[in-house]
Structure 1
Amino acid sequence: MRLATIRTNGTTATVRIDSIEDTAEDSGTVAHGTTIPGYDTVGDLLCEETWEAIASDAAGDPVAITEADFAPVVPAPRKIVCVGLNYANHIREMGRDLPANPTLFVKYPDALVGPYDDVNAPPYANSELDWEGELAVVIGKQARRVSAADAENHIAGYAVMNDYTMRDYQYRTLQWHQGKSFEKTTGFGPWLTTKDSFAFGGELATYLNGEKVQSTPTDDLVFSPSDLVEYISHIYPLDPGDVIVTGTPGGVGHARDPHVYIGDGDTVEVVVEGLGSVRNTTVFE
């Protein structure tokens, strides 16, 4: 099952995606869905203990959805916890050893934009703008000090995240957060694919202006989603709608020689097999 938050009539609504179009060239339609009455966002729906049954049984209005309609799939998570250095190939390209524990930092909801929205980069932070395609885990049931064996029961599903990174700000200090949470720089969506509808092992790929710059199988993580839920939930509870961003594979621009960065007008697309794609165009303010 796929769930999305869409923009409609000046507000948002939660929809169950019933079918996906092969092409949007003629009508602009990307998908067809059914509204889930009473829930403005997917995050609101996930707060219900029986959210899966509610979504499955929903018989609201049918909707045709265009790219511009998609909002961030969870527009305002209480927590967005990011994991650095979690794909072995990326760790090696950055010249580091495989970690014994996850490296965590936070991103704020202000950073999120829709999966097809423009990303606006301010003039003081656009000189070392880099790409990071990532798989995001969305929590569906509160997790507090859970075991890895039980962690799967607390995961609602998965989505795609386009994690633009300001490298100059990131490396100003030893703390990465300031280069990772600029306002409206993170495409998130296009929908939540529930865990029963997704299998790990497919390709995660990032494209810069159509050229593939990152590629890895999604099961090449050092710390799996279950490992991360266990670890993080022993620090603080994870609530329904919270997001764990699991890290990026090798191929980032900052690790290249010479460095390659995103320019004005460049488009970054992240495609995760089984989850869909996020595509954002870069606009230098």
Structure 2
Amino acid sequence: MVTFKYLFQFETGNQEKFWARSESAEPVIGGSVTAYLTFDDAINNTHSGTAIVAKLLPPLPKTNLPLYCVGLNYRSHAKEASINIPVNPPVWTKPAAALSAPNEIIPVSRFCASHLPDWEGELVFITARECRDVSPEEAPSYILGYTVGNDLSCRFFQLPEQSGGQFFYAKAFDKFAPIGPVLASPDTFYETRSTASLVTRINGEVKQNTVIQNDMIFTPEHVLSWMSQSTTIPAYTVVMTGTPAGVGIFQKPRQLLKDGDEIEIEISGLGTLKNQVRFEEGQDSIM
């Protein structure tokens, strides 16, 4: 297998879908690239042509799988939420319909807009092959690469008095999992992993800013090992590894998402995931 630095998936103006290899974590819309029809072609650098990038897509070989998510995986976030750090990482899933693309406008229904919509910048990894009962030592060989994600959430439904403090319902809404812009190989991300920072900006204002390795509790390898115990994890599964302090619900006063807000999540060596939220049906006050 030929190694890669970055891969991204895109659509042309004719809505044809291709993959591309890149030396940069920031693909250029409108740029002409060497295009591969399939993910395997891009990995192996075979059967290429030329195409113009019109629209970025999630950098995932499969988009019909549930996404796994981890909660309370940053010390700073557990502290701001006043929650004790658990012995094991809390894990839940988002449905495949939650997936959305870089630069995509996220349509937020009136129902979601009215129930404390919030952001969560996250480091994401993608599994390379099917796995089960993986040890932490084996886990690196099951990781295909890394990217950036946003675990959008409606905080109202996480309140203990509303839904028992659960995670799934608050986060499983359509388009509530933007992913991208690129998939970085493990070797590429490891070049910056020890010092990589995660920064979330809302309309240009920094809300989250941490050095991942100094703040994260359970490493990606630990997470993959834990979630695979007695559970078959398909190849190309998305795993969102948690968020640091700075989410809107714990700002003083609360600073939740508003119609038209621009969200940028940047991770060193992985590029910047950009999305806008649009409250197309308006918003009701629940306060």
- For the aligned pair, the TM-score class normalised by the smaller chain equals 0.7 to 0.9
Once the two structures are superposed, the pairs formed by residues 14-93 of structure 1 within 5 Å of their partners are 14-19=19-24, 28-29=29-30, 33-37=33-37, 39=38, 42=39, 45=40, 55-58=43-46, 60-66=48-54, 69-74=55-60, 76-93=63-80
Tell me the equivalent position of 1:281. Answer: 276
Deviation, structure 1 residue 195? 0.4
Among 165, 175, 183, the residue aligned to 1:184: 175
Whole-angstrom distance in 2 between the partners of 1:235 and 1:280: 36
Give the drift of 1:93. 0.5
Determine whether 1:229 maps to 2:234: no
Is the Cα–Cα contact under 8 Å of residues 133 and 161 in structure 1 kept in the other structure?
yes
Following TM superposition, by how much is the alpha carbon of 1:259 offset from its aligned partner in structure 2, in angstroms?
1.1
Confirm whether residue 117 of structure 1 aligns to residue 104 of structure 2. Answer: yes
- Alpha-carbon deviations, 1:33-77, whole Å to 9, x = none? 32223x2xx4xx4xxxxx8xx6242351133435xx111222615
Whether 1:164 aligns to 2:169 is no
Q: SS at 2:20's partner residue?
A: strand
Gaps of 5+ in 1: 46-50
Determine if contact 1:130/1:252 at 8 Å carries over to the other structure. Answer: yes
Q: Which stretch shifts more, 121-130 or 167-176?
A: 167-176
State the AA in 2 paired with 1:268.
I
Partners of 2:72 and 2:142 in 1: how far apart? Answer: 23
Once the two structures are TM-superposed, the CA of residue 237 in structure 1 deviates from its matched residue by 1.6
Aligned twin of 1:136: 124
- Residue identity opposite 1:240 in structure 2: A
Determine the structure 2 residue equivalent to 1:106: 93
Corresponding residue of 1:10 = 15
2:283 matched to which residue of 1?
none
Post-superposition shift, 1:168? Answer: 1.5
- Are 2:209 and 1:218 equivalent residues in the alignment? no
Please tell me the residue identity of whatever aligns with 2:218: F
Q: 1:277 to 1:132 in 2, by over 3 A?
A: same
TM-score, structure 1 normalization = 0.87
Q: SS at 2:138's partner residue?
A: helix
Deviation at 1:159? 0.5
Cα deviation 1:225-265 (Å, max 9, x = unaligned)? 11011111114122211011000000011012221111011
Moved more, 12-21 or 186-195: 12-21
What is the TM-score of this pair, normalised by structure 2?
A: 0.86
Q: Secondary structure at the match of 1:160?
A: strand
Moved more, 86-95 or 184-193: 184-193
Q: Give distance in 1, aligned partners of 2:56 and 2:19.
A: 10
C-alpha displacement at 1:19, in angstroms? 4.7
Matched, 1:152 2:140: yes
Residue 156 (structure 1) shift: 0.5
Q: Structure 1 residues 170 and 191, CA, compared in 2 at 3 Å: closer, same or farther?
A: same
Q: Does 1:209 align with 2:203?
A: yes
Task: Describe the shift of the 1:87–1:34 C-alpha distance in structure 2 as closer, same or farther (beyond 3 A).
Answer: same
Tell me the CA shift for residue 98 of structure 1. Answer: 1.5
Unmatched 5+ stretches in structure 2: 281-287
Cα 1:170–1:34 shift into 2, 3 Å: farther
Quote the Cα distance in structure 2 between the aligned partners of 1:123 and 1:137. Answer: 31
Whether 2:254 is the aligned partner of 1:259: answer: yes
